[in-house]
Amino acid sequence: MLMIPGPTPVPENVLLALAKHPIGHRSGEFSQIMADVTANLKWLHQTQNDVLMLTVSGTGAMEAGMINFFSPGDRVLVVHNGKFGERWAEVAQAFALDVVEVTAPWGQPIDPTTVQAALDADPDKAIKGVIVTHSETSTGVINDLETISKHVKAHGALIIVDAVTSLGAVNVPIDEWGLDVVCSGSQKGFMIPPGLGFVTVSPKAWEAYKVAKLPRFYMDLGPYSKGAAKNTTPFTPPVNLIFALQAALKMMKAEGLEQIFARHHRHMLATRAAVTAMGLPLYAPEGHGSPAITAVAPTTVDAEQVRSVMKKKFDIVLAGGQDSLKGKIFRIGHLGFVCDRDILTAIAALEATLSELGHTGGTPGAGVAAAAKILTA
Ligand SMILES: *Cc1c(COP(=O)(O)O)cnc(C)c1O
């Protein structure tokens, strides 16, 4: 049972779609699937902008989302408070962009006024783009993208968003908030295996694309956009992953966006309440937890031992901490194809694990009771 922030669990009818024979990607049959998938991707992304599919992981989607709109030496503001946000500064540097940074300590949300201040200090509009991570998976913190996007719109730079663990988990109304480029990956909220990256592109971003001079070929979004208009792709796509995507999008439509967001919110609340009731400290502060993942910073037990017992005794895989958080936190993923029963199971197994490890901070059963209270409310 995977409770990590990607790859996430895959429903059986999606697995069955993967098991089909591949078909020719230049066939009419495949074009029909592309048309269906493209329309449903626009629905999921709440946008009229292009939603392009690339055969890449989430990082590839972000790289494509960054390199298509700038020229060497262009200044970009990278806003970061965790491992993924830091990566976008590294990508920008690798492509010879002039990187300025606004940060918050790991485990804390970005204060939108710090972004506003950095943009106010740029009256000449040297900053061409602002890169923001919405749900910072490494720490389980969600950033206030709506407010940050307002400050970026007021300045006029492009806003490029890592929505890898927020898309399909929490409301990201791309058109309403005016988000120029939004990137995500298939193994997160999409309920399909790794391998597809998604990038949305606004008309304003396409204007920037026309004059952008960073080198690009496989990641050049122009051919993907031309292809999408004809329900095709510039290169051989992972045909079976697209079958899987079609099946997953159908399930999402049947559930409904509001319901999907409500489910992730409920799972976040139940997990956080249970962790607190077990006497374990949450890593992300109240009101700033990600609906995709809950990070826990235990003090009475070893985070890696918790993961090890959960895996060995209960076959539940939790994520560990990255970089400086290694051994300090464990992370419970509740993203994508997760139901209330999965949360109760994970919490019950965690309580049993804690008692095996000699944790004395909470009354046995208190975690399950706290989760159940929220799940049955
Ligand atoms: C998973 C993830 C990514 C992408 O990682 P890949 O391994 O390249 O798919 C990017 N940003 C966030 C916030 C993520 O959680």
Is the distance from the beta carbon of residue 293 to the nearest atom of ligand 1 less than 6 Å?
Answer: no
Contact 347, 274 (CB under 8 A): yes
Please choose from 81, 133, 165, 187 the residue to mutate so as to test ligand 1's pocket, defined by most ligand atoms within 8 A of CB.
165
**Rounded distance from Cα 84 to ligand 1 centre (Å):** 7
User: Are 151 and 243 found together in one domain?
Assistant: yes
Where does residue 251 rank: exposed (0-12), middle (13-18), buried (19+ CB within 10 A)? middle
Contact 164, 58 (CB under 8 A): yes
197 CA: nearest ligand 1 atom: 9
Write the pLDDT tens digit of every residue in 215-257: 999 999 999 999 999 999 999 999 999 999 999 999 999 999 9
Residue 47's closest CA among 185, 180, 173, 210? 173
pLDDT band at 362 (very low <50, low <70, confident <90, very high): confident
pLDDT given for residue 360 in this prediction: 87
Could you tell me how far CA 347 lies from the centroid of its own chain? 23
Residue 40's closest CA among 185, 259, 229, 252? 252
| Nearest protein CA to atom 12 of ligand 1, as residue | 164
Q: What is the CATH classification number for the domain harbouring 342?
A: 3.90.1150.10
User: Are 189 and 61 found together in one domain?
Assistant: yes
Is the distance from the beta carbon of residue 6 to the nearest atom of ligand 1 less than 6 Å?
Answer: yes
Domain-located, residue 2? no
134 CA: nearest ligand 1 atom: 13
Burial call 24-42: b when 16+ CB within 10 Å, e when fewer: ebeeeebeebbebbbebbb
User: Are 91 and 236 found together in one domain?
Assistant: yes
Is the distance from the beta carbon of residue 193 to the nearest atom of ligand 1 less than 6 Å?
Answer: no
Is the distance from the beta carbon of residue 289 to the nearest atom of ligand 1 less than 6 Å?
Answer: no
State whether residue 161 is helix, strand or coil. Answer: strand
Domain-located, residue 156? yes
Is the distance from the beta carbon of residue 238 to the nearest atom of ligand 1 less than 6 Å?
Answer: no
List CB contacts of 35: < 8 A, sequence separation 6 or more: 231
Q: Which of 254, 288, 315 is at the close of a domain?
A: 254
Write the pLDDT tens digit of every residue in 121-169: 999 999 999 999 999 999 999 999 999 999 999 999 999 999 999 999 9
List CB contacts of 46: < 8 A, sequence separation 6 or more: 172, 173, 174, 175, 176, 257
331 known member of a binding site:
yes
pLDDT given for residue 142 in this prediction: 98
Please choose from 2, 57, 87 the residue to mutate so as to test ligand 1's pocket, defined by most ligand atoms within 8 A of CB.
57
Range of the domain at 310: 257-375
Tell whether the model's pLDDT for residue 361 goes beyond 90: no
- pTM score: 0.97
**Tokens at 239, concatenated:** 């045909």
Name the average pLDDT for the chain: 97
Strand order in the sheet with 330-333: 2-3, 317-320, 330-333, 293-296
**Sign of dihedral through CA atoms 42, 44, 46, 49?**
negative
How many domains is the chain partitioned into structurally?
2
**Rounded distance from Cα 166 to ligand 1 centre (Å):** 11
**Rounded distance from Cα 169 to ligand 1 centre (Å):** 14
Write the pLDDT tens digit of every residue in 56-77: 999 999 999 999 999 999 999 9
User: Are 102 and 200 found together in one domain?
Assistant: yes
Report the percent of the chain where pLDDT is more than 70.
100
Domain-located, residue 1? no
Is the distance from the beta carbon of residue 84 to the nearest atom of ligand 1 less than 6 Å?
Answer: yes
Domain-located, residue 4? no
User: Are 48 and 66 found together in one domain?
Assistant: yes
Domain-located, residue 57? yes
Rounded CA-CA distance 153/165 in Å is 23
Is the distance from the beta carbon of residue 31 to the nearest atom of ligand 1 less than 6 Å?
Answer: no
Q: Give, in degrees to the nearest 5, the angle at Cα 177 between 175 and 180.
A: 65
Pairing of strands 50-54, 197-201: antiparallel
pLDDT given for residue 229 in this prediction: 95
Tell whether the model's pLDDT for residue 364 goes beyond 90: no
pLDDT given for residue 285 in this prediction: 97
188 CA: nearest ligand 1 atom: 1
User: Are 268 and 362 found together in one domain?
Assistant: yes
Residue 145's closest CA among 182, 126, 172? 172
Rounded CA-CA distance 366/377 in Å is 17
User: Are 222 and 272 found together in one domain?
Assistant: no
Contact 79, 89 (CB under 8 A): no
Rounded CA-CA distance 76/63 in Å is 14
**Rounded distance from Cα 27 to ligand 1 centre (Å):** 32
187 CA: nearest ligand 1 atom: 9
